[in-house]
Structure 1
Amino acid sequence: MVLKITLIGLLAGVLGTGLGGVLSGIFKKKIDRCIDFFMGLAGGIMLAVVVFDLMKEAIDLKGIWITVIATFLGVITTMLIKENLDMSQDQKSGYLIFLSIMLHNLPEGLAIGSSFVSATQLGWTLALVIGIHNIPEGLATALSLAGTKMKTSRIILYTVIAGVPMGIGSFLGVYFAGNFNSLIGIFLSIAAGTMLYVVLEEILPRTKNIFCIIGFLVGTIIVYCV
C-alpha cells in the first residue's frame, strides 16, 4: 500500500514536470527571439500558482497570519540562498526556479499520500489533478533554464528531478498521515514565498515589453484552466 501510493505520487510529479520539460524543447531553438515572452510566461505560471493554489490552500489550512509569516520566511530563505550562490545571474534565476518547484512539490506529495489514507478515490483524483497541474510548472522550470543556454537533455533531466519530491512527500503522507497534516499549510506557504521572490526579483524585472505581458497573461490563464 505504501509503495503503491509512493509510486503514484512519484509518477504524478515526474511525468507532470518532465512533460513540461519536453514541451520546452520545442521552443529551445527560438529562445533568443522569444525570451521576453517565455520569461513572462514562466512568471505568469508561477505567480498564478502562488495566488490560485499555494496561498489559497495554506490560508484555508492555517489561517491568514501563519500563511503570511511562513510565506515571508520562504522569501527570506530564498534571498539568502541567492546571495550565497556562486554563479552567474542567469544561472541563479534558473536554479532558484528549479529549487522552488522542488520545494512546493513536497507538500503536494504529502497531500496525495494523506488523501489516499482518508479516501482512495480522493487520492486518485488529487494525483491526477496535481499531475496535470505540474505540466506548466515543469514548463516554467525548463524555460528559465533554457535561458542559461543549458542543453535540452539536461533541462529535461532537471524537470524530472523537480518532480521527485512529490514521491517522497507521498511516502511521508501515507506513512505519517496524521502527524504531517498540520504542517502541509506551512510547507505550502514557504513554497509560495520562494516562488513569489523568484517572480518579483528574478523574472519580471528582466523583461519590460508587451511580449512579456502577453506571456504573463497566457501563463496565468494556463494555470487557472488547469
Structure 2
Amino acid sequence: MITTIGLIIPLAGTVLGAAMVFFLKGEMNPKVQKALLGFASGVMIAASVWSLLIPAIDMTAEQGGIVWLPCSVGFLLGTGFLLLLDTIIPHLHVDAGKPEGRKSTFSKSLMLVLAVTLHNIPEGMAVGVVFAGSSASNINITGASAFALAIGIAIQNFPEGAIISMPLLSTGISKRRAFSYGFLSGIVEPIGALLTIILTSHIMPVLPYILSFAAGAMIYVVIEELIPEAQSGTHSNIGTIGTAIGFTLMMILDIALG
C-alpha cells in the first residue's frame, strides 16, 4: 500500500500541472516557462546524484564489488537507451521548428505529448528502483528517501504537466482534451515504476546498475532537452536560477528525509 502511494505521487504532480489549462488563460509566459524548465532540470540532476548514483556506489561497496563499475556501466546504458528512444520515436518539443525521431504522420499535439512521455520514462524507472531498494532488508535505501524522490519528481512534474497541456490549446483542441493528453503523458511513470520493481525483485544483485541506468536516462533528458529549452530565445538567467532552486530543493528533501 505504501509503495503504491509512492508510485502515484509523481503522477499526481503531472495531473495537477495539466489541470492548469482550466485555470490559466492563453499561453504560458515564456519567462515562467523557462524558470519551470530550469527548476525541473535542477530537481532531476540532484535526484540523479543523491537518490540514484550515490546509493548505487554505496551498495556496490557493501557488496565488495568494483565500486566504479556498476555506476559507470549503468549510467552509460541509461544514456544510450534514451538516445535510442529519442532517435526512434517521433516527437516534437515545445517551440521547436520541426519534429525529431522517425518521420511520421502523427499530429502536432500527439508528438508534443510523446516528447514529454520520453521525459517521464526515466523518472518512473527512478522511482520504481528506489522503492524496490527500500523494500529490500539488505540494502541501505530507506522508505523516507524513496518518498523524498517521489515527492521531488512530483514537484517538477507539476510544471511539466502545465508546459505540455497549455501549448496544446494553440493546436485547436479543447481544454478537456489538452488535460487528458497531459494525464496520459504522466501515466507512463507509475507503469514504468511498477515494471522496474518487478524486474528488480527478480534480479536484486543488478540493482546498482538499474539505479545508475535511471540516473543516466534522467541526465540525458536534462542535457538534451530541458536545459536547451530553458535557455532558448532571448538570453535570460531565469532558467539558471530555476535550476539552482530545483537542485537545492531536491537536495534538501533527500538529505532531510533520507
TM-score w.r.t. length of structure 1: 0.78
Match of 1:215 in 2: 242
**C-alpha deviation, 1:123, in angstroms:** 6.7
The 1:40/1:127 distance shift into structure 2, 3 A limit, reads closer
Contact 1:109 1:167 in 2 (8 A): no
The alignment yields a C-alpha RMSD, in angstroms, of 2.9
**C-alpha deviation, 1:187, in angstroms:** 0.7
SS of the residue corresponding to residue 114 of structure 1 reads coil
**C-alpha deviation, 1:124, in angstroms:** 5.5
**C-alpha deviation, 1:145, in angstroms:** 3.1
Query: Structure 2 residue aligned with 1:48, among 38, 46, 56?
Result: 46
Query: Structure 1 residue aligned with 2:68, among 42, 64, 83?
Result: 64
The share of aligned pairs that are identical, in percent, is 18
**C-alpha deviation, 1:32, in angstroms:** 3.9
Residues 1:95 and 2:95 are matched in the alignment:
no
If each structure's helix is expressed as a fraction of its own residues, which one has the higher value?
A: 1
Amino acid at match of 2:245: V
Contact 1:21 1:141 in 2 (8 A): yes
Residues 1:74 and 2:78 are matched in the alignment:
yes
Unaligned runs of 5+ in 1: 1-6
**C-alpha deviation, 1:22, in angstroms:** 4.0
Give me the whole-angstrom Cα distance separating, in 2, the residues matched to 1:147 and 1:68.
38
Unaligned runs of 5+ in 2: 61-66, 95-111, 170-177, 254-258
**C-alpha deviation, 1:198, in angstroms:** 0.8
Give me the whole-angstrom Cα distance separating, in 2, the residues matched to 1:78 and 1:169.
16
Amino acid at match of 1:196: I
Residues 1:132 and 2:130 are matched in the alignment:
no
Match of 1:186 in 2: 209
TM-score w.r.t. length of structure 2: 0.69
**C-alpha deviation, 1:79, in angstroms:** 0.6
**C-alpha deviation, 1:195, in angstroms:** 0.6
Give me the whole-angstrom Cα distance separating, in 2, the residues matched to 1:181 and 1:103.
15
Contact 1:113 1:170 in 2 (8 A): no
Greater radius of gyration (CA): 2
Give me the whole-angstrom Cα distance separating, in 2, the residues matched to 1:197 and 1:72.
10
